[in-house]
Amino acid sequence: MRTRSGFIGSHLCEALLASGNRVLALDNYITGSPDNVRALQDNPDFELSQVDVNHGVFIDGDVRYVLHFASPASPPQYDSNPIHTLKVGTVGTMNMLGLARAKEATFLLASTSEVYGDPLVHPQPESYWGNVNPIGPRGCYDEAKRCGEAFAMAYHRAHQVDTRIVRIFNTHGPRMQVSDGRAVPNFMAQAIRGEPLTVYGDGSQTRSLCYVSDLVSGVLAALERGDELPVNLGNPQEITVLELAETIIRLARSKSRVFCTVTAKSRPGSVDGSSAPMRPICVVAASAARLRRDDCARSAARPRLASQPPVHRISRRGPRP
């Protein structure tokens, strides 16, 4: 089993170990940190290795699953590393598919809702081909993930590799980086510091947010029972950015106030001013034989903000800088 030590990857490692697998996590730490899997270091079934998957991956022994989650994942991160982002989504994906082929392993690609670009369809079903600007600032991420999906389909068709593609929508939870640039960690950090929570526009723009443990359940369901076609994994319920900010203030018992700026940020995917809402419609997950609506719903439909405390956990330990 090969995976990563980033935010989602670290939770996947825990879930895979808990279900009796041996896990080798590969990471070059461009955006992740060994701290994310520090608690696993004494587990004899876990190994962490510093490897850049863009340079090829050669491993002894049998491998059952190859999970490719390596990529800068938020706008500030891929803005700072556009060429690396393109390479890891294309060359890195090809290398991991090569590993899966050599080991006769099942391969899973962490794709993204961003393959839909600035969608003209809302919510987005898997059958929608998207509306992507290849030369815009997000092109390096969106197009790399689209190319990664094409690579997965090509290896499936040409080499019969058993492949999966999961299109992940906004996911949050413990071990997200505060510098990630997305709404949840940004608001949490502001609330904990007692600073105003900056909302662009009137806050009526919406987000769909999936808690990481639900996402991991969906990934494992896709791995075990999916097929080669893409599956949306996310929360089909939306929350306004204003509601999100107020919920975080309440859960953090913060004295912060919401500060609405006059201008809405126009760049989709930015902290909270997206003009193109992203929300999954889980058509394939709901109707296909292998993944049932339950799987999708389990991975998605329980927004935990109201009741469960990523905020509490972060406020006790303090956010990771």
Active-site residues, by number, are 141
Amino acid letter for position 212: V
CA 2 – CA 9 distance, rounded (Å)? 10
Give me the least distance between CB of 263 and ligand NAD, in Å please.
25
For residue 49, the cross-strand partners are: 26
Residues 240-299 interacting with ligand NAD (rule: CB under 6 A): none
Residues 58-97 interacting with ligand NAD (rule: CB under 6 A): 69-73, 88, 92
Closest to ligand NAD by CB, 213 or 256: 213
Give me the least distance between CB of 64 and ligand NAD, in Å please.
20
Closest to ligand NAD by CB, 23 or 110: 110
Q: Which two tokens stand for residue 307?
A: 């009741």
SS3 of 112, please?
A: strand
The one among 2, 4, 146, 207 contacting ligand NAD by CB under 6 A: 4
- Interface with ligand NAD, residue 9, by CB under 6 A: yes
- Counting residues that bind ligand NAD (by CB under 6 A) gives 29
Residue 64: phi and psi, rounded to 5, are -95, -40
Give me the least distance between CB of 89 and ligand NAD, in Å please.
8
Residues 162-221 interacting with ligand NAD (rule: CB under 6 A): 168, 170-171
SS3 of 217, please?
A: helix
Q: How far is CA 210 from CA 77, 108, 150, in A?
A: 20, 19, 26
Give CA torsion, residues 31, 181, 38, 167, to 10 deg. -80
Give me the least distance between CB of 293 and ligand NAD, in Å please.
21
Q: How far is CA 35 from CA 144, 145, 177, in A?
A: 27, 26, 12
The one among 7, 46, 107, 128 contacting ligand NAD by CB under 6 A: 7
The one among 1, 2, 3, 8 contacting ligand NAD by CB under 6 A: 8
Closest to ligand NAD by CB, 130 or 196: 130
Residues 102-131 interacting with ligand NAD (rule: CB under 6 A): 110, 112
CA 33 – CA 35 distance, rounded (Å)? 5
Closest to ligand NAD by CB, 29 or 129: 29
The Cβ of residue 317 has, within 10 Å, a number of other Cβ atoms equal to: 9
Give me the least distance between CB of 171 and ligand NAD, in Å please.
4
Closest to ligand NAD by CB, 88 or 311: 88
Give me the least distance between CB of 256 and ligand NAD, in Å please.
24
Counting DSSP H helices and E strands in the chain, the numbers are: 10, 13
Give burial (CB, 10 Å; 0-12/13-18/19+) of 43. middle
In what order do the strands lie in the sheet containing 230-233? 46-50, 23-27, 2-3, 65-68, 106-112, 163-168, 230-233
- Interface with ligand NAD, residue 49, by CB under 6 A: no
Helix or strand holding residue 65 (H, E): strand 65-68
Closest to ligand NAD by CB, 149 or 162: 149
Please give the residue ranges that form the binding site for ligand NAD (CB under 6 A). Answer: 4-9, 26-32, 51-54, 69-73, 88, 92, 110, 112, 168, 170-171
